[in-house]
Amino acid sequence: MLYPSVDSLKEKIDSKYTLVSLAAKRARELQEKHNEQSMKYVSHKNVGKALEEVSAGLLNKQKTDDSIVYEDEI
């Protein structure tokens, strides 16, 4: 992956694992709903588009609520 660089993405998101999870969720959303941001993408693939959104500051990690219990955690 040349653009955006991993170093520039690490400045936006603190962990590589969080970055991967965030980009994967956004790429799935792009694939299913086709709701692209109003920006010109360099990448043609959804994962690349999601990473470009992180680099542009359009996609951020949301603070999680520890009191929420998800079905897969039961």
DSSP state for residue 66 in the 8-state scheme: T
State the pLDDT at residue 49: 92
Model pTM score: 0.72
- Walking along the chain (74 residues) 10 residues at a time, the average pLDDT comes out as 77 86 91 83 90 85 64 62
54, 23 Cβ separation under 8 angstroms: yes
State the pLDDT at residue 28: 93
- Listed by start position, the domains of the chain span 6-60
- Note the residue count of the chain: 74
Task: Please tell me the distance from the alpha carbon of residue 12 to that of residue 17, in angstroms, as a whole number.
Answer: 13
- Cβ atoms within 10 Å, residue 38: 5
CATH no., domain 6-60: 3.90.940.10
Task: Please tell me the distance from the alpha carbon of residue 42 to that of residue 54, in angstroms, as a whole number.
Answer: 13
As given in the structure block, the two tokens for residue 40 are 């010109």
